[in-house]
């Protein structure tokens, strides 16, 4: 009885239809470090510059100083604001554009890897081929390549047991860069 019957093979089947909101959330996660650095830059440089603008007019020694002398100081504040605005705009528009090209996909997970089947494509990946797998509060994000990923929102799993089984498949794989929540 060493032979496994086909129905003895453990698999998880998840039908996924990604929305713009899903991609937006995942892209915010993907760009989180950039957003934090830009926000920190804005706070560290912006707060002192804005404070100087607010305090300077009330200072006794500032009567002979023109506010135009401080105009160059606005550049370090406006630059991160502009970069942050462009990044947020890019995330929103990129999410909309990705959804336009995304098809509903059936993911089948097994101990060996996954199969993704959509109307126009079928892809099979062994777990060992993944560069990275990240679990967030709402998603599993699987990276077969450094900058390409399969987003799989947890809401498409039918039960918490399926999510736990997927975690076990991933834990038992040879992937080095894995970050699971539990």
Q: Are residues 90 and 149 in the same domain?
A: no
Last residue of a domain, one of 78, 100, 122: 100
Find the mean pLDDT for residues 150-170: 95
pLDDT, one tens digit per residue, over 101-121 is: 999 999 999 999 999 999 999
Find the mean pLDDT for residues 134-152: 94
How high is the mean pLDDT of the chain?
86
**Residue 3 belongs to some domain of the structure:** no
Structural domain that includes position 48: 22-100
Q: Are residues 106 and 133 in the same domain?
A: yes
C-alpha dihedral over 162, 102, 106, 17, to 10 degrees? 50
Whether residue 40 contacts residue 80, with contact meaning beta carbons closer than 8 Å, is answered with no
**Residue 1 belongs to some domain of the structure:** no
Q: Are residues 133 and 108 in the same domain?
A: yes
Q: How many residues does the chain have?
A: 182
Distance CA 174, CA 126 (A): 10
**Residue 120 belongs to some domain of the structure:** yes
Last residue of a domain, one of 77, 100, 123: 100
Find the mean pLDDT for residues 92-106: 93
Predicted structure pTM score: 0.77
Q: Are residues 110 and 136 in the same domain?
A: yes
Last residue of a domain, one of 69, 100, 131: 100
Confidence of residue 3 (pLDDT cuts 50, 70, 90): very low
Instruction: State how far the alpha carbon of 137 is from the alpha carbons of 63, 80, 106, 180, in Å.
Output: 55, 29, 21, 10
Q: Are residues 114 and 157 in the same domain?
A: yes
Task: Supply the pLDDT for residue 5.
Answer: 46
CATH code (residue 118):
2.30.29.30
């Amino acid at each position: 009885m060493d032979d496994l019957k086909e129905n003895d093979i453990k698999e998880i089947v998840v039908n996924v239809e990604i929305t713009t909101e899903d991609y937006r959330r995942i892209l915010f996660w993907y760009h989180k470090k950039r957003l934090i650095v830009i926000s920190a830059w804005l706070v560290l440089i912006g707060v002192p510059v804005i404070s100087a603008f607010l305090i300077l007019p009330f200072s006794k020694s500032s009567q002979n100083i023109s506010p135009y002398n401080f105009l160059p100081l606005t550049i370090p504040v406006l630059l991160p604001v502009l970069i942050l605005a462009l990044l947020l705009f890019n995330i929103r528009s990129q999410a909309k554009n990705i959804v336009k090209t995304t098809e509903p996909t059936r993911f089948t997970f097994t101990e060996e890897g996954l199969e993704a089947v959509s109307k126009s494509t079928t892809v099979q990946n062994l777990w060992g081929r993944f560069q990275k797998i990240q679990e967030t509060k709402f998603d599993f994000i699987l990276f077969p390549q450094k900058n390409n990923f399969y987003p799989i929102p947890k809401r498409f799993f039918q039960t918490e047991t399926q999510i736990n089984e997927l975690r076990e498949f991933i834990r038992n794989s040879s992937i080095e860069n894995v970050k699971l929540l539990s």
